[in-house]
Amino acid sequence: MNGTRHLRPPQVSENKDNVCRIVVLGSPGVGKTALTVRFLTKRFIGEYCPTLESVYRYISDKSDDEDVRLDILDTAGQVSTSWNEGYALWGDCFVLVYSITEYSSFEEVHRLRRLLESSRRSSSMCCVVVGNKNDLVYERQVTMAQGEQLAHEVGCRFYEVSVCDWLQLPQICDIFNDLHAIWKRTKTLKDGRQRKSSSSAKFKQAIQKVISGKSPTTKKLSSSNSGVT
């Protein structure tokens, strides 16, 4: 892809655990870059290079209650027959964008969802569906109900927005902040389960040692017992 900045792996020194990786996917022209830039800079810039692909680091203000760290990959240059599996494997969360003025971009979200599922070998993942350009109501080809239905099938949240409408900025921020919150919740649960299973494995090992008489505790107990009798 000419003019594309390819995805680079994160720096080794970085603690990836605290960073939520979000991939913005959708047909060309649906407003992926406009959406990403709006969230990051609060500005709407009309035209972008369609082949520009970038990863942006977002760190929330220190005054915020919760520290939000995101790496946002704004993808580009996808044609509906191609698929870069690297997107699915790199991302923790996915923003699936279509334009309400272009039915084929809505169908593309269905395809992307299926591709994500097969690349990640899982049907449960952290994602949201976004219908953009709702300022262009007279050119609408996808109803709000269709968008909601799709999100329902996918099992995720749905947003219909106009990135160019300043008044909708809070909803656009919600898209990214909500994804981060879902990711964090899932991660906390997973980490908790891992800790629990590793401590129960340690517990089992300790019991095994006691039974087999290899435990230092067992030896100590038996020596003190023998002193009493």
- Rule CB under 6 A: which residues touch ligand GDP? 26, 28-34, 46-48, 50, 132-133, 135-136, 162-164
Give the up-direction half-sphere exposure of residue 89: CA atoms within 13 A in the CB hemisphere: 8
Binding mask 76-95 for Mg ion (x = CB under 5 A): x-------------------
CB of 162 to Mg ion, least distance (A): 17
Measured in degrees and rounded to the nearest 5, phi and psi for residue 143 equal: -80, 160
Of 68 and 76, CB closest to ligand GDP:
76
Alpha-carbon distances of 61 from 58, 64, 121, 173, 177, rounded to whole Å:
10, 6, 36, 14, 13
Measured in degrees and rounded to the nearest 5, phi and psi for residue 175 equal: -55, -50
Of 46 and 216, CB closest to ligand GDP:
46
Place of tokens 């191609």: 82
CB of 161 to Mg ion, least distance (A): 16
CB of 119 to ligand GDP, least distance (A): 21
Query: Contact with Mg ion (CB under 5 A): which of 25, 27, 33, 96?
Result: 33
Of 76 and 125, CB closest to ligand GDP:
76
CB of 171 to ligand GDP, least distance (A): 12
Alpha helix ranges (H) inside the chain: 32-41, 85-90, 103-120, 144-154, 169-212, 216-228
183 binds, among Mg ion, ligand GDP, none (CB under 5 to 8 A by kind): none
CB of 50 to Mg ion, least distance (A): 6
Contact indicator for 3, 52 with CB cutoff of 8 Å: yes
109 binds, among ligand GDP, Mg ion, none (CB under 5 to 8 A by kind): none
Angle (CA) 34-116-57 rounded to 5° is 40
